Structure 1
Amino acid sequence: MAGIFDTHTHFNDEVYKENDFEVSEMIKEAKVNGVTHFCCVGFDIKSSKEACKYALKYPNVYAAVGIHPNDVTKFTKGDLEEIDVMANSDNVVAIGEVGLDYYYSDEHKEIQKEFFIEQIKIAQKNDLAVMMHLRDKDGSESAYLDALEILDNLNVKRAIVHCYTRGIELAKKFVKRGYLISIPGVVTFKNATSLQETVEKLSLNEIIVETDAPYLTPEPKRGKLNMSKNIAFTIEKIANIKKLNKTDVIEATTNNALKVFKLA
């Protein structure tokens, strides 16, 4: 396989340094497994700066910069000026990962919304995609529906629902607005029947792929630290679900990524 775009990975996660993994080696191994493009995603100021650094250092590595919804209480709106500055750095293609996360608590819901809105405005000002982390309590769709309301109010044209694991009906609400659904390694899990049905029913034109490495390692590597090279298992699973050739899945998802990031 060749040409896979891992649209969401974290070369900037401290766990790689703690385990003595070199970014250059991870990229090299991924390329052997057919991965040709990467988006390294920030989740706070420090990690966003690192993402920018890797995007300048390595060919076909791009960056997303932003403050994760779970971290917004650690920052002030003044810190968003740094995100705005980084948004102008070469090879930055998205503001992310930003969004709403009510999974553990909705105590800081309004602050999360404020930061989400302000970071969307930075994306629009700099003509960048919005890469969204949306997470909710089991059985609830509040974070997703609140996000849709904000996206509609701000007339957002280019957005990605990162690490989607939900059902088809909720996915349809996003794709009908032209947003992309990003499929993680979770799709390979035996109990991920809802996500597998979503993949089956969505068009290839509506999805992209990601690892969210070092998290959510796909089968059969589950239990180990995730890396970009493992996205090949996600591609294979999607091809099996949709009864398509792997090359068709790669071509479509990579073209979708290149378009949303305005690289093609």
Structure 2
Amino acid sequence: MPTTFPDEVDEEALTDYAARYGDHRFAPVVVLIAAYNERDAIPAVLEGIPGSSCDLDVDTLVVVDGASDDTADVAVRHGAYTCVAGTNRGQGAALRLGYRLAAERGASYVVTTDADGQYEIDELPRLLRPILDDEADFVTGSRRLGSSENPQLLRRLGTYVFAWLVSVMTGQRITDTSFGFRAMRVEVANSVRLEQQQYQSSELLVGVLARGYRVREQAMTMRQRVAGVSKKGNNVLYGYRYSRVVLGTWLRERRARRLSGAAGASSADEQVNEPARAAGE
């Protein structure tokens, strides 16, 4: 069921995080990973994350989404700041918590990647550089512009169909709506009302476009996961729900942008993560 920030699980996770780390501040760049039962895959991912990129220090934040294994302990042992949500709510809810935590603790930029090793962390500078050069506010990778090892025909077809749908709806050519390796200004991540627990990739991308931010795609690589199994369900059902989220998010965020422009500021009772005016408005 869709939720908004913060719910009871978020509050408990933030309290636990503060008890663990005190009032520490993040480096300018935070690599954010949502993880659920990824004890076997996540070590290689964490070991590959650099301490700096594009001349900026980098911290790693892992939000453990109600895992039943020792993913949290593994993340801590590998030096990642670790926030533990006691209930499994889905990747979207975990990332939403991470976006808020990154903003509250002083990060300027957030980069998301998956815990399963499907993305090439060496490509991180290609995500950050357009933002640092003030050419974009949100940069996402694209397997269609780059390469993918996924052999499933239905998922490849879905990538094309969803990209076409978003391109028609937003008026901006998008080739990959669900690539999980992305970089953004921290205020961009927190400007969209994020409700979806699982279908967050389309919700965030479409919301950012609806809010008028500058979005760029970069050619990138997507590999098979290094361990474990995908948490995504039936492809047909996933596609149906994904499409519904895309349309609903576009209508909701366009409406919110119009209301914000008419009032000169976001409505005080609109429960968003941290509303921010889109660049160029």
Same fold (TM > 0.5): no
Give the TM-score normalised by structure 2.
Answer: 0.28
Give the TM-score normalised by structure 1.
Answer: 0.29
Q: Which has the higher helix share?
A: 1
Higher relative contact order (CA 8 A, sep 6+): 2
